[in-house]
Amino acid sequence: MDFQPTQEQEDLRAGVRALLSRRFGREALRAAVDRAEAGGAGGVDRGLWRELGGAGFFALRLPEADGGVGLGLAEAVLVFEEAGRALLPGPLVATHLAAGRVEGAADGTAVVTAFDLGDRPAAAAGPPGRLVAHLAEADAVLGAGGCTEAPAALLPAARPVPSADPLTPLHRVPPPGPGPDARLRDEGALLTAALQLGSALRTVELAVRYAAQREQFGRPIGAFQAVQHLCSGMLVRAEVARTAVYAAAVCADAADRAGAAGAAGAAGFGAAVAAEIAGAKLLADRAAAANARDCLQVHGGMGFTWEADVHLHLKRAWVRAEQWRTAAAAEEALAAELLADAQERGREGASYARDGSL
């Protein structure tokens, strides 16, 4: 079996990279950051959103009969990886998941966010509630079972919350109904992992390029073993995360084809695939944050300046790590699957010891 991307998948990736390079290159990114810091728009460019919709970004997995492209998660993670590489802001995952559920989401004429961040329990310090990203810019908020709430109904009681990422404005809203169901959480976690993967790979590129250009003691700093070790560690983390994200996407698509996900419905893909997705999210979150930190280290003092882009990758990685599935939730899912597997093996071993057959 060949696990390499097909030529069609590589063409899809290249097309998305070309589109984002043309419409959201570095100058557009920095202009968006400057606007956000000045108190302007929080990151969603409606014109770009519609262009993404026209290119099939949000309708990628909708059946062709419903006006979509008819592809799977294996292709979606490639597209979202490119969006993560470009640090494209906005509720990309929620709008993608809302395609076919919320009018206008598929073609990018609607911006949909989701209850994809954690709750603050009533016993915790400060007012209870749930964080929502891009609430003021959204047309709908995705919740349980694909149901939505109107941002206008939430905004009067919402409180702005300082965000680490200047392009991800946050509000805390009073505790609403339940958040997205297991199936949406699994899909959202996998697509967010793909965004994190793209950021992790981009920071490898930034670190290696800077190490080749910056000279110290008469030679590029990339010639020094300490810098080489940092860059190689970044590459290893990114490639391990890439393998996990791609594998989880393939497993999820296989579950869909086998009908397992359809049978489970809102319950999700099943424990095994959910554990694959949890592992992918955990590895991608760690790769994105750790690679951004090491990229800062390679850049030295320059990496901490506002003009460098490295800090934007780190801040976005921190926010994404809390979306759809946190590290704690991913670890719990993996532990539960490992325990279930160990118990099953224990039962098989006891059966073999009892009657000599499995």
- Each residue of 20-62: pLDDT tens digit? 999 999 999 999 999 988 877 667 999 999 999 999 999 999 9
pLDDT of residue 38: 85
DSSP string, 327-346: HHHHHHHHHHHHHHHHHHHH
Rounded to whole angstroms, what are the CA distances from 232 to 109, 188, 280?
42, 29, 20
What pLDDT is attached to residue 1?
A: 47
Mark the ranges of the chain whose per-residue pLDDT is less than 70.
1-2, 41-42, 118-128, 145, 176-178, 260-268, 348-358
Going by C-alpha positions, the residue among 98, 114, 8 that lies closest to residue 53 is: 98
The CA–CA distances, whole Å, from 156 to 153, 266, 300, 326 equal 7, 31, 44, 28
Q: Record the pTM.
A: 0.91
pLDDT for residue 60: 96
Tell me the C-alpha distance between 242 and 236, whole Å: 10
Best CA proximity match to 329, nearest among 197, 203, 145, 179: 179
* C-beta neighbour count of 103 within 10 angstroms: 13
Q: Write down the pLDDT at residue 174.
A: 84
The predicted pLDDT at position 123 comes to 45
Instruction: Return the amino acid letter for 110.
Output: A
Distances (CA, A) of 285 to 119, 136, 164, 304, 353: 20, 26, 16, 21, 43
